[in-house]
Amino acid sequence: MKKKILITTAIDYTNDVIHVGHAYEKILADCIARYERLRLGKEAVYYTTGTDEHGTTNQKAAEERGLSPMDHVTDISQENRKQIDALNISYDRFIRTTDADHKKFSAEFFEKSLKNGDIYKDKYAGFYCEGCEAHKTLTELNEYGQCFVHPTRKIQRLDEENYFFKWSEYEDFLKEKISSDELRMRPQGKKAEMLAFLEHGLRDITVTRPKYKVSWGITAPNDEEQVIHVWFDALINYLTEGSQKGFWDEDTKIVHFVGKDIARWHTLLWPAMLESAGYRLPDEVYVHGFINLEGQKISKSLGNVIRPTDLVAQFGVDSVRYFLLKYGPITEDSVFSLKQIKEVYNGELANGLGNTISRVAALAQKSGFDFPVGAENVDWQGALFEPLKEYRVDKVLQSIWILLADLDKHINKNEPWAIKTEEKLREVLTHEVSELRKVAKYIKPFIPDTAQKIEQQFGKVKITAGEMLFPRLD
C-alpha cells in the first residue's frame, strides 16, 4: 500500500468567478483529503487546487473591465480563493499558473518533451473553441458550426504557426495503461468511454499559441514568439507542486478529481505528456458529473449563476457541504435548486442531526450523570468507510444518517424521560451519548465545523444542552 496520497482538483479558469458547479469538485476532493489525513496522518496527504490563468478568454474579460490581463486574472484568482475558503476547503496549496515556480516548471517540462523529439513546428488552419480552449474538427461542431459544449460562443478560425505534440504516437501506450488499470478511471464506465475514444485515433495537438494572442502566457523555451498552450501549461500544475513537495514519487498514490467535460485531457493527454517528459503517471482519475440548476446548465449568459458564498450566507457552510456531498453529481449529473437544499436542511440537518443532538444533550443534562470520555475509537479503514475506496462520499453519509435514525428510534423506544430506575437510565443514556460521540467523529471529513461543535458539547464528562446547530428554516 502506498504511504502518501496527492489529491488534486481541476484548476478553474479565471474569465469569471467560480460558481457552485466548480465548487462541488473542491468539496468532494476536500472530503477525501480530510478522510485520508485521519486515516494516514496529516503529513501523508497533500491537496492542491487553484486557478488556470492563461486562457484566451481572459483577454476579452480583462478588456471589458478595463484591466490588463494580469490584473484581471489576479483579481479573479483572489475572488475564487475567497469562494473556496468560504467552503472550508483544506487545500495545502492554492496554485496559480502565473506563479513563478509553475512558469519555470512548465517551461522545463516543455523542454524535456522537446528534447525527446515529441514537439515539432507546423501550421494549423482550422477551428478553435475558446470555451474548451481546444481545436475542433468539423465533426466536433454541430450543424450550425457551433461547439456542442459552448453553443453560445463564436467558433474562431485560426491560421497559425504552432508547435505540435506527437500525441498520435501515444495511442498504444495509453490503451495499455488504461486497459490494464495501471491508470484507473472511476466511475468504472469512464474506462470504456476513454478506450472507445482512443479507437477513433488521436491527432497531434498544438501545444503553443502565438504570443501576440496570449501576451501574459508562458514563453516557449525554444521560441520567443510563442507561448505554451493553456492546456499543456495547466495540466503541469499538478506536477509543479506535487514534485516540489515529494508527492510525485512511487510511494504516493496520485488522484485527480475532474468534471466529465475535461476527463479526456486528464486520462489521455496528461499521461502521454508525462511519459514524454519522463515522469510517472497518476494512479486514478475520478470523473464527476455536472450540477444543473433546475434542469439548466449553469451559465453567465443564462443569468442563473449561484456563487458558493451566496449559499453559505443563506444556509451555512456545513449545510452546503452536506447537501452537495450527499446529492451532488458524484457519478451522474444532478439537479439542484434552493428549494431542495432547504428541504434537505430541514429534514436531515435540523431534524435528523440537530434535533437528535438536542434531545440527547437535554436528557444527559437532566440526568446529572457523568459520561466518561474516551471509549469511542473510529476504525477509519472499517466497513463504514469502504465506499470511499471508490470515492462514494454520498454512500457514507447515507450510512451515517441511518445510524442517526436508529439512535432516534432508540430514544423513542426507550423513552428515557419516563425511565424510573437510575441503572436503566444510565445504560440507555450511555449508549446514546456514545453513539453521538461516534457520529461526531464520522462526520469530520464531511462537515468538520459541525463535528467540532458536537465534540465540544459531548466531549466532556458533564454534558449540557447547547444552542441549536441547525435551526429550522421556514
For ligand MSP (CB under 6 A), the number of binding residues is 20
Task: Choose the stretch contacting ligand MSP; rule: CB under 6 A; options: 5-13, 109-117, 385-393, 461-469.
Answer: 5-13
- How far from chain centre, in Å, is Cα 221? 32
Whether residue 300 lies in the annotated active site: yes
**Coil, strand or helix at 225:** strand
Catalytic residue chosen out of the listed positions 2, 112, 150, 410: 150
Q: Does 24 bind ligand MSP (CB under 6 A)?
A: yes
150 counts as catalytic = yes
Give the three cell numbers for residue 174. Answer: 495509453
Nearer to ligand MSP, 231 or 345 (CB): 231
Looking at residue 322, its amino acid is Y
Q: Which amino acid is at 136?
A: K
Q: In this complex, which beta carbon is closest to ligand MSP, that of residue 272 or of residue 436?
A: 272
From the list 11-19, 239-247, 312-320, 362-370, the region that binds ligand MSP by CB under 6 A is 11-19
* Exposure on the CB side of residue 270, measured as CA atoms within 13 A: 28
Does an H or E element contain 129, and which? Answer: strand 119-129
- For residues 224 and 93, give the distance between their C-alpha atoms in angstroms, rounded to a whole number: 30
x/- letters, 205..244, toward ligand MSP (CB under 6 A): -----------------------------xx-x-------
Q: What is the C-alpha separation between 450 and 423, in angstroms, rounded? A: 31
User: How far apart (Å, rounded) are the C-alpha atoms in residues 70 and 229?
Assistant: 17
| Nearest one of 57, 58, 56 to 72, comparing CA atoms | 58
Largest CA distance in the chain: 88
Distance from C-alpha of 97 to C-alpha of 240, rounded to nearest angstrom: 10
Q: Is 28 in the site for ligand MSP (CB under 6 A)?
A: no
Closer CB to ligand MSP, residue 329 or residue 445?
A: 329
Q: Are 291 and 340 in contact (CB under 8 A)?
A: no
The nearest distance, CB 74 to ligand MSP, in angstroms, is 16
- Smaller CB separation from ligand MSP, 77 or 226: 77
Per CB under 6 A, the segment of 18-26, 34-42, 144-152, 183-191 that binds ligand MSP is 18-26
With cell 501515444, the residue in question is 170
Given 50, 69, 259, 308, the residue binding ligand MSP (CB under 6 A): 259
Active-site position among 102, 132, 229, 444: 132
Active site residues: 19, 22, 129, 132, 147, 150, 297, 300
Residues near ligand MSP, by CB under 6 A: 10-13, 21-22, 24-25, 52, 234-235, 237, 258-259, 261-262, 290-291, 298, 329
